[in-house]
């Protein structure tokens, strides 16, 4: 199984540091931002560090095509009222694709964007235009993440995801990243996951899915909140998340945890172990 978590990526250790962090959690894959998630300050990719990391990955049987990069939150293709900001997002994502190519990464997860005051139809049109500017000669596939529908987020229903993909010219360079917390908050019942996959298959097509974020949610179905909870401590619950992780229809798809730190400590080692052992650990969080 390809399972891992969000890990850090530092200027001085780069892919090698991210890999070492992932290995310390007992992970078989991982996801990282090429810098801080909340800003667009980025450094050149170091060839020596990349080579070293790739060698260790090969030794360990880790497949680089299952490793995911996440674009920073602040790029927004959905709003074009400030054309300069939109063009900045396009330029940044083109450069991010080059960084992924340098690292040997195949998939870049992107939040489709927030339309702010433009309305969802214009938002989707802007996202399509942006993606068509970005994906011209890309070897990397952009995965649109399914969103919770907080504020004016686009991509919080399968219909919206499908409309975006319909408008993208390079269909072989666009895909989807499901997120269990976001889906729950958007109103898709994770306790009936096979039905959700049927809906997705009908509206979009299961072959577009290349990553799934495994998170519990702090909020009820359809709350449009987007607050992640630790595995088994939220409204989705351990059994439903376990059934998702072991669902045969997503067998080869990388599963990435983005759950919150507990007492300033990453919970990923324990959470990955819980899912691999199929046994809920009720000691992970105090008060339970």
Interface with Fe ion (CB under 5 A):
145, 179, 213
Buried b (16+ CB within 10 A) or exposed e, 162-182: bbbbeebeeeebbbbbbbbbb
CA distances for 267 relative to 5, 45, 174, 275, 287, angstroms: 10, 28, 31, 12, 16
Give yes or no for a contact between 33 and 25, defined as CB atoms under 8 angstroms apart: no
Looking at 211-255, list the stretches that DSSP marks H as alpha helix, in order from N- to C-terminal side.
238-245
Minimum distance, C-beta of residue 3 to Fe ion, in the bound complex (Å): 15
**CA–CA dist 215, 232 (Å, integer):** 9
- H or E segment and range at residue 92: helix 83-103
Q: Which is nearer to Zn ion, 62 or 78 (CB)?
A: 78
Minimum distance, C-beta of residue 148 to Zn ion, in the bound complex (Å): 6
Buried b (16+ CB within 10 A) or exposed e, 2-24: bbbbbbebeeebbbbbbbebbbe
Minimum distance, C-beta of residue 211 to Fe ion, in the bound complex (Å): 9
Minimum distance, C-beta of residue 237 to Fe ion, in the bound complex (Å): 18
DSSP-assigned beta bridge partners for residue 70 = 109
**CA–CA dist 245, 248 (Å, integer):** 9
**96 near Zn ion (CB under 5 A):** no
Q: Which is nearer to Zn ion, 46 or 229 (CB)?
A: 229
Positive or negative torsion for Cα 22, 25, 29, 30: negative
Q: Which of residues 212-231 bind Zn ion (CB under 5 A)?
A: 226
Q: Per-residue x/- marks for Zn ion, 261-280, CB under 5 A?
A: --------------------
Minimum distance, C-beta of residue 55 to Fe ion, in the bound complex (Å): 29
| Among Zn ion, Fe ion, none, partner that 271 touches (CB below 5 to 8 angstroms by kind) | none
Give yes or no for a contact between 113 and 77, defined as CB atoms under 8 angstroms apart: yes
Give yes or no for a contact between 246 and 276, defined as CB atoms under 8 angstroms apart: no
| Among Zn ion, Fe ion, none, partner that 226 touches (CB below 5 to 8 angstroms by kind) | Zn ion
| Among Zn ion, Fe ion, none, partner that 270 touches (CB below 5 to 8 angstroms by kind) | none
Minimum distance, C-beta of residue 263 to Zn ion, in the bound complex (Å): 21
Q: Which is nearer to Fe ion, 35 or 50 (CB)?
A: 35
Q: Which is nearer to Zn ion, 226 or 270 (CB)?
A: 226
What count of other Cβ atoms lies within 10 Å of the Cβ of residue 96? 26
Q: Which is nearer to Zn ion, 167 or 260 (CB)?
A: 260
Minimum distance, C-beta of residue 244 to Fe ion, in the bound complex (Å): 14
Residues near 52 by beta carbon (within 8 Å), at least 6 away in sequence: 16
- What tokens does 274 get? 């819980």
| Among Zn ion, Fe ion, none, partner that 213 touches (CB below 5 to 8 angstroms by kind) | Fe ion
Q: Which is nearer to Fe ion, 46 or 179 (CB)?
A: 179
Q: Which is nearer to Fe ion, 99 or 213 (CB)?
A: 213
Chain positions contacting Zn ion, by CB under 5 A: 226
């Amino acid at each position: 199984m390809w399972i891992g978590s969000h890990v850090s990526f530092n200027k001085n250790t780069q892919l090698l540091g991210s890999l070492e962090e992932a290995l310390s959690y007992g992970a078989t894959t991982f996801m990282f931002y090429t810098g801080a998630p909340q800003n667009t300050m980025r450094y050149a990719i170091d060839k020596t560090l990349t080579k070293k990391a790739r060698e260790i990955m090969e030794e360990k049987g880790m497949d680089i095509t299952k490793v995911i990069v996440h674009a920073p939150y602040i790029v927004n293709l959905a709003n074009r009222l400030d054309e300069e900001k939109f063009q900045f997002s396009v330029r940044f994502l083109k450069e991010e694709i080059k960084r992924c190519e340098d690292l040997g990464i195949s998939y870049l997860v992107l939040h489709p964007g927030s339309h702010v005051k433009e309305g969802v139809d214009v938002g989707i049109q802007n996202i399509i235009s942006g993606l068509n500017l970005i994906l011209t000669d890309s070897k990397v596939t952009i995965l649109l993440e399914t969103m919770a529908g907080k504020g004016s987020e686009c991509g919080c229903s399968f219909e919206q995801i499908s409309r975006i993909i319909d408008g993208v010219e390079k269909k072989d360079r666009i895909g989807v990243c499901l997120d269990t917390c976001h889906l729950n908050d958007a109103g898709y019942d994770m306790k009936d996951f096979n039905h959700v996959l049927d809906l997705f298959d009908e509206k979009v097509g299961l072959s577009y899915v290349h990553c799934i974020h495994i998170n519990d949610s702090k909020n009820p179905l359809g709350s449009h909140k987007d607050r992640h909870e630790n595995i088994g401590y939220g409204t989705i619950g351990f059994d439903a998340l376990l059934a998702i992780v072991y669902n045969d229809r997503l067998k080869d798809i990388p599963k990435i945890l983005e759950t919150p730190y507990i007492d300033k400590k990453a919970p990923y080692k324990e959470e990955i172990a819980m899912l691999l052992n199929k046994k809920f650990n009720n000691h992970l969080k105090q008060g339970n």
